[in-house]
Amino acid sequence: MLKKSYTKTGQTCRVTFKLPAEINAETALLCGEFTDWETQAKPMKTLKTGGFSLTLSLPASQSYRFRYLLDGERWENDGQADGYIPNGFGTEDSLVIL
């Protein structure tokens, strides 16, 4: 799930990325174009509900590909992303449009 909050100038957007507990993972990392797909750059915080959350401030007027890396081995898309786009691995990446 994505939650967006733009700054007053509209140049930056705080995006909260959330995963539900039903994802059944011990750890979750947010990977994407905004981290150069680095798999250790953005660990998500575990919520009391068992889900995960992470908020980033990103430049607005752009779109970004992203995916979640669960338990260091399983890639998942966001079920409520703004869109999906094919990648070079025969699957799709989630898309957040700001």
Query: Which pLDDT value is given to residue 17?
Result: 97
CATH of the domain at 11: 2.60.40.10
Report the distance separating Cα 4 and Cα 55, nearest Å. Answer: 9
Query: Which pLDDT value is given to residue 40?
Result: 84
Identify the band that residue 39 occupies on the pLDDT scale cut at 50, 70 and 90. Answer: confident
Report the distance separating Cα 42 and Cα 89, nearest Å. Answer: 22
How many domains would you assign to the chain? 1
Identify the band that residue 5 occupies on the pLDDT scale cut at 50, 70 and 90. Answer: very high
Query: pLDDT of 43-63, one tens digit each?
Result: 999 999 999 999 999 999 999
Amino acid identity at 38: E
Report the distance separating Cα 16 and Cα 18, nearest Å. Answer: 6
Residue 10 clears pLDDT 90, i.e. is over it: no
- pTM passes above 0.85: yes
Residue 25 clears pLDDT 90, i.e. is over it: yes
Report the distance separating Cα 64 and Cα 82, nearest Å. Answer: 10
Q: Which residue has the tokens 């995963």?
A: 19
| Alpha-helical regions (H) of the chain | none
- The boundaries of the domain holding residue 93 are 2-97
Identify the band that residue 41 occupies on the pLDDT scale cut at 50, 70 and 90. Answer: confident
